[in-house]
Structure 1
Amino acid sequence: MAEIPYTCKRTVVSTKPVQPGKRFPLSVLDRLMEPRHLRIVYYYRSGNPGRKAGEWTRTLRESLARTLTSFPKATGRLQRDGEGRWEIECNDAGVRAVEARARGSVEDWLRNAEREDELRLVHWEEMFDAPYFWSTFYVQMTEFEGGGFAIGLSCIHLLADPICATMFIKAWADMTLKAQLAAPPLFHPLPKRQPGHQNEPNHNTSLINHYKSSINTPSPAPGAKFATLSLSFAEPIVRSCVAAAQPVDQHVHWPGLSPFKALAGLFWACISKVRGNREGLVSMCLGLDVRKLLGLEREFFGNCMVYSNSLHAGDNEEDNSLPGAAKAIGEIMAKLDKNGVMDLIGWLELNDISHPESARSLNFPELLFLNLEGIGPHTARFEHAHSPIQVSCYFEPPCGQGQVVILPSATEDAPMSRVVMVTLREDELAKLLEDDLLKSFSPTILMGVNRNRA
């Protein structure tokens, strides 16, 4: 597809200055995500086809400035504290905003876009030698000449997880449509253990062991070319998948089998077979939001996803059928409890290394599954009659073994419908589309390999 010319690149600052000297220290969960960044794109049809070029981006720019008043963490800059750890100095430096125009309509774009095309809708710049001048958040507003627009947000994962990123876009939409935020973000530290707490003698330490393994595993050398396949599963198909993921034993039924467990089980089983595992499953980990588990508000702004895996590479002989994979995922999720997460946070803080040259990060040596079922994309409305028609989320750079992101469809009247974004090596994606189990559910290809045959 053609390049997207930028019409303007500027810095947008909040309409209300932040309190001088305010700083936000970053948590141990924040600092582990430093090497990565997020890119999210929301697509919308135009509510006013006769609007002049640039008129809508001007409206969005003005509402963005008002939104940033509630997000001082996004408008600040990174600096080191006295112990060498990253923190945010709230200096009202603002976010970088890019305005662009694309040919055709948003529908035309979505019919032809591939991974590299979509990433051009989300401006991003890597941090180099001067973090104090580098924007940690970027927004891109792309107007389509034939109607429609795209909102792109990118940010360093050090400051925000995908829940926060979608929270920011929802707040921006609320400010544009209603001139106020329905749920302002909350900035406070992660919860602490109560004094005198003692770990249970037989408490499961698999979460800490998984973090130890991931932290100590070197980052894979770049080399393989990744591609992304985006699939839509309508509500009836998701219900069929949930039914097919039930145990073979007819005397057992899992009433709590969620769309995420069923779809993650489906793709775990299929990718394992693509990689030649005829009986077992490849090693994987789950990225799960733990705000509710820790008793935190949904509006908590900061990294609050935990990556859990009780199955280590080479040790996994689980049944690679759909019911077997879904059962294994359910067991991993069931083992994740508040005590285990609090123990992990305590262990990370106890073993925190402040020197920049010794900083540690999660390297994700396994296949990663991200559960984004709770983001509610259809609520991000910039205009009364128009919720997004499609949403994409990228976790960058891709994990060495690939990743699967499961998020709700933007369709408001079908709450069980899902979009699954699979990022793997190009040759693996082509094989995945030929898998009989996946084909039996007939998902719609939104973007990716050999799309035209869907």
Structure 2
Amino acid sequence: MEDRVRYICKRSVVSTKPVEQGKLYRFSVLDYIMEPNHIRLVYYYRSSKIRELGEITKVLRESLAHTLNCYPIITGRLVKEIDGTEEKDQDLNRQWKVRSNDAGVRMVEARATGTVDEWLRSVNREEELKLVHWEEMYRLPYYWSTFYVQVTEFESGGLAIGLSCSHLLADPVCAMMFIRAWADLTMTRSMMAPPLYHPLPPRRFTNHRLSNNNQLLSHYIKSCALTAQPSNVTEDRVVTVTLMFPDPLVRVGENEPGISTFEVLAGLFWICVSQAKGKNNELMDMSLCLDVRKLLRLDKSYFGNCMVYQKVHYSKPVKTKDKLLVSHVVQEIHNTTKRLDYDTVMDLIEWLSSNNNPISNGSDLVCTNLENMVNSRPMMFEKDFVLSHVSCYVEGPVAGGGQVIVLPSRSGEGPMSRVVMVSLPQREMVKVLENELLQSFSPVLLMENQ
């Protein structure tokens, strides 16, 4: 296939106001365990008119510089420090910090053929990742940008904004909040929700002991000790499919109060992916990735990693013909999420303070909940650019044996509808899409990135 993306240049964009030179930003234990992973986001915008190529890129470059005034942790560079002495190396006995300076972020400018709609109808995973530039850190971390922005203008109309970042600095919630802050500032000249930088809640100075039945902590103790590759690594290439579900809650029927759309979809894909992997009498291992800002009584604008991986256990017999299987599985997921509370997460944070090896979910299916990343205000950079689609990838050992990411639906869809990105080996994906249970939920295929 002809390469539809042409790169124009890569440059550094710095904040418009001088930063406090030399200030150190320290990471939390939830940050450190995510170091080997990174995040990629792509936002697609339809345009009602054809602009001169380069015009919107210039506007976004200028507004990005103003946005970075509130994000000194993004514009700084990584150093390692011990006993107050900075070292520009990767000595494992030292821990990363961000040293504030005016290095800025790397911005890639690109062009793509056709329109956004034409692209979305035919794009594959490999092509989509060309819209979100990423570079691995090699030998010179002090010169390496932890965040990359890519602005791709479509020659026949439309825009794609890609953001990639090290998971050490931010989780997907942070990354999406950054895009929204940038859009708000571009559109209204003001930032509605600037980021907040502060530590996680302090340790509890009581006789509180770590709970022996804390399943969240147990999962991390096992996961942080994993060094081997997942046992089901396959040479089959990974593909990504994006589906829209009109209203999954209706399909499950009357449930216990409080069941969320995410829990329904996590249960559905837990069953379907397990069957695709040949597990007809049991369910595969699965971890939920959940935002715990609210549980820790943190502001929703808290900047830093604040998502945890909670293992779900289903010990009952699995019968593929059981019409109530989905309801039973969803109820187990709901019970697991309800067990997460302040003390459960604080147990984990306190254990990680002396055991912060990177986490690996092994061969687990990972279901990430981003369904609450919706806002009453549309995320618009300019009036004639309308958000059409969002893609999200989390790459690295934390990704497990497959990914399901639940996102808000596009504006205009029902309040209970959701968009789901599924990444699996190709042969398994074919079986999942053909699954009668999945089809009974009437999903609409939005993108088939194969």
Q: 1:264: which partner in 2?
A: 266
Q: Which residue identity is paired with 2:266?
A: A
Shift of 1:311: 2.3
Deviations 1:255-310 (A, max 9, x none): 21111011111111111111222232111000000000000000000000011114
Structure 2 CA distance, aligned partners of 1:118 and 1:382? 21
Residue 14 and residue 311 in structure 1: after superposition, are their counterparts in 2 closer, same or farther (change >3 A)? same
Q: 2:110: which partner in 1?
A: 100
Tell me which protein shows more strand as a share of its residues: 2
1:8 is the counterpart of 2:9: yes
Residue 318 and residue 192 in structure 1: after superposition, are their counterparts in 2 closer, same or farther (change >3 A)? farther
SS in structure 2 opposite 1:96? strand
Q: 1:275: which partner in 2?
A: 277
1:53 is the counterpart of 2:53: yes
The answer to whether the 8 A contact 2:252-2:327 is kept is no
Q: Which residue identity is paired with 2:78?
A: L
Q: Percent same amino acid at aligned positions?
A: 49
Within 5 A, what are the aligned runs for 1:373-412?
373-376=371-374, 379-384=378-383, 386-397=385-396, 399-412=399-412
The answer to whether the 8 A contact 1:270-1:435 is kept is yes
The answer to whether the 8 A contact 2:273-2:432 is kept is yes
Shift of 1:318: 5.9
5+ long unaligned stretches in structure 1: 247-252, 353-359
The answer to whether the 8 A contact 1:115-1:447 is kept is no
The answer to whether the 8 A contact 1:210-1:309 is kept is yes
Shift of 1:223: 5.1
Residue 241 and residue 263 in structure 1: after superposition, are their counterparts in 2 closer, same or farther (change >3 A)? farther
The answer to whether the 8 A contact 2:158-2:385 is kept is no
Within 5 A, what are the aligned runs for 1:282-431?
282-311=284-313, 317=317, 321-352=325-356, 360-365=357-362, 366-376=364-374, 379-384=378-383, 386-397=385-396, 399-412=399-412, 414-431=414-431
**Comparing 75-84 with 316-325, which one deviates more in the overlay?**
316-325
1:192 is the counterpart of 2:202: yes
Partner of residue 238 from structure 2, selected from 201, 223, 226? 226
Within 5 A, what are the aligned runs for 1:103-252?
103-199=113-209, 204-220=213-229, 224=235, 225-234=237-246, 237-243=247-253, 246=254
Q: Which residue identity is paired with 1:371?
A: N
Shift of 1:449: 6.6
Deviations 1:177-229 (A, max 9, x none): 011100100011111133225137x6632111100111112252775321111
The answer to whether the 8 A contact 1:230-1:445 is kept is yes
Q: Which residue identity is paired with 1:190?
A: L
Q: How many residues align?
A: 429
The answer to whether the 8 A contact 1:219-1:363 is kept is no
Residue 344 and residue 316 in structure 1: after superposition, are their counterparts in 2 closer, same or farther (change >3 A)? farther
Structure 2 CA distance, aligned partners of 1:61 and 1:282? 45
Shift of 1:233: 1.3
Residue 120 and residue 438 in structure 1: after superposition, are their counterparts in 2 closer, same or farther (change >3 A)? same
SS in structure 2 opposite 1:64? helix
Residue 220 and residue 351 in structure 1: after superposition, are their counterparts in 2 closer, same or farther (change >3 A)? closer
SS in structure 1 opposite 2:131? coil
SS in structure 1 opposite 2:257? coil
Q: Which residue identity is paired with 1:187?
A: Y
SS in structure 2 opposite 1:307? strand
Structure 1 CA distance, aligned partners of 2:374 and 2:406? 12
Q: 1:356: which partner in 2?
A: none
Q: Which residue identity is paired with 1:423?
A: S
Structure 2 CA distance, aligned partners of 1:305 and 1:316? 28
The answer to whether the 8 A contact 2:45-2:159 is kept is yes
What TM-score does the superposition give when structure 2 sets the normalisation length? 0.91
